[in-house]
Amino acid sequence: MSRSTPTALGRNLVRFFEEYLPVQRGLSPHTIRSYRDALLLLLRFTASERHCTVDRLDVPDLTVERITRFLATLEAERHNSIATRNARLGAIHVFARYLAGQCPEQLGTLQRIIGMPFKRGAVEAAIEYLDRAELDALLKSIDRSTELGRRDYALFAFMFNTGARVQETLNVRVVDVRLEAPPQVRLLGKGRKARTCPLWPATARLLRDLIAERGGFVDEPVSPLVFTNARGAPLTRYGVRYLLRRYVHKASQVAPSLKSKKLHPHSIRHSTAVALLKSGVDFATISHWLGHADLNTTMRYARADIDLKRRALAQVFPDVVTPPPGGRLLLDGSDLANWLRKL
């Protein structure tokens, strides 16, 4: 075989990433990059064992025994957690299922790979979120006298209002936002599934001011993004992470509890879920609000919040534990449960 002739493994890798994952499965770019990283690590490991270059590898080089050694290396040498190790194996499972349909002559080996079990013992990471006082301190730490400060305030208020994933937020364009009553926004989630989320009047005003400050609803072939950087280019996930870290550090002077929390942009989404749960919103509504594919994902938040546990305890021992008084939500000062019922 000529070195310029791609192997069956190479040809199917290209189709897997260019056609199957984005087109047939409709996975997000972030998920596709995660799959890419897992398979690239496996291919480099396999090439090292075979003493050849990655482009010379073929489907028979992927064996259960080799993948088992690869997974052990992830934990022993790269110090990956069990959860990360299992995520890598999940990507391998998906690729093996795809290969099974393309290379039926390798079906026996591929079925064994697909059947490789996940490792038990993974510790579910604690859900980090901001409570009302912490979120209040975060928003108040933003200097709204500057254009970028007003953008940042609108950004984090929008993320808390909608519970949108950070990339969903950054992908929102002006055309996706409806600011007249009732205000709402169209979000494009995982698997390119669209959902509509209501906006609080205060959030709608922040977005209206932000868009007007940048020139309003301009007539362009492609609607402009709502959230951009100082140069007008798309804001990145890493940029949002940097901003959140900066404001959390500043806000921790007022809310010391922030110093012990490992917060990231997804923590804003967690904060929304817990706030909705505390306000009495049912799991099904929260699941649709956040765009969860599985209701069990939403129910994790019930295990995360200590106030909810106190209230559950108070129902069993009402004379011993008194549930804390319900707080009022930020931004527009209304009770979210009642607000939802009035929609």
Are domains 8-114 and 132-341 of this chain identical in fold? no
The reported pLDDT for the residue numbered 234 is: 93
User: Which of the two residues, 218 and 189, has the higher pLDDT score?
Assistant: 189
Residue ranges in 103-189 assigned as alpha helix (H)? 107-114, 132-140, 147-162, 166-170
Comparing 311 with 62, the larger pLDDT belongs to 62
The residue from 85, 269, 270, 278 that is catalytic is: 269
The yes-or-no answer on residue 35 being catalytic is: no
93 is an active site residue = no
Q: Which one of the listed residues 88, 151, 165, 270 is annotated catalytic?
A: 165
pLDDT at position 308 is 53
Q: What number of residues does the chain have? A: 343
pLDDT of 183 higher than 50: yes
Domain boundary assignment for the chain: 8-114, 132-341
Is the pLDDT reported for residue 314 higher than 80? no
8-114 folds as: DNA polymerase; domain 1 (1.10.150)
17-70 pLDDT, tens digit per residue, is: 999 999 888 887 878 999 999 999 999 999 999 999 999 999 999 999 999 999
Write the pLDDT tens digit of every residue in 113-171. Answer: 999 999 987 666 678 889 989 999 999 999 999 999 999 999 999 999 999 999 999 99
Question: Does pLDDT of 206 surpass 60?
Answer: yes
> What is the arithmetic mean of pLDDT over 201-222?
81
Q: Is 188 in a helix, a strand, or coil?
A: strand
Reported confidence tier of residue 313, pLDDT bands at 50, 70, 90: very low
Percentage of the chain beyond pLDDT 70 is 81
Q: At what angle do helices 283-290 and 295-304 cross, to 10 degrees?
A: 110
Q: What's the pLDDT score for residue 191?
A: 67
Nearest to 102 by CA among 37, 11, 35, 24: 11
Phi, psi of 173, deg, nearest 5:
-110, 165
Q: Is the pLDDT of residue 255 over 60?
A: yes
Catalytic choice (93, 178, 190, 241) = 190
Which of 56, 214, 266, 288 is an active site residue?
A: 266
Distance CA 118, CA 102 (A): 25
Q: What is the DSSP string of 20-61?
A: IIIIIS---HHHHHHHHHHHHHHHHHHHHHHTS-GGG--GGG
Residue type for position 23: V
CATH superfamily of 132-341: Intergrase catalytic core (1.10.443.10)
197, pLDDT greater than 70: yes
One-letter-per-residue 3-state SS of 59-107: HHHCCHHHHHHHHHHHHHCCCCCHHHHHHHHHHHHHHHHHHHHHCHHHH
Give the confidence band of 205 by pLDDT, cuts at 50, 70, 90: very high
301 classed as catalytic: yes
Angle at Cα 175 formed by Cα 172 and Cα 177, nearest 5°?
65
pLDDT digits (tens, 9 = 90+) for 260-282: 999 999 999 989 988 888 887 87
pLDDT of amino acid 122: 65
pLDDT attached to residue 305: 54
Task: Give the DSSP H/E element, type plus range, for residue 264.
Answer: none
Catalytic annotation on 292? yes
pLDDT at 326: 46
> Is the model's pLDDT at 339 over the cut of 60?
no
Written as six digits, the tokens of 248 are 């959390």
Q: What is the pLDDT of residue 304?
A: 59
Whether 129 is catalytic is no
Q: What is the pLDDT of residues 57-114, one digit of tens each?
A: 999 999 999 999 999 999 999 999 998 999 999 999 999 999 999 999 999 999 999 9
Catalytic annotation present for 269: yes
Q: CA 45, CA 56: separation in Å to the nearest integer? A: 13
Segment 289-299, tens digit of pLDDT: 888 766 666 66
- Kindly tell me if the per-residue pLDDT of 311 is higher than 70: no
Q: Is the full-model pTM beyond 0.75?
A: no
pLDDT in the model for residue 285:
81
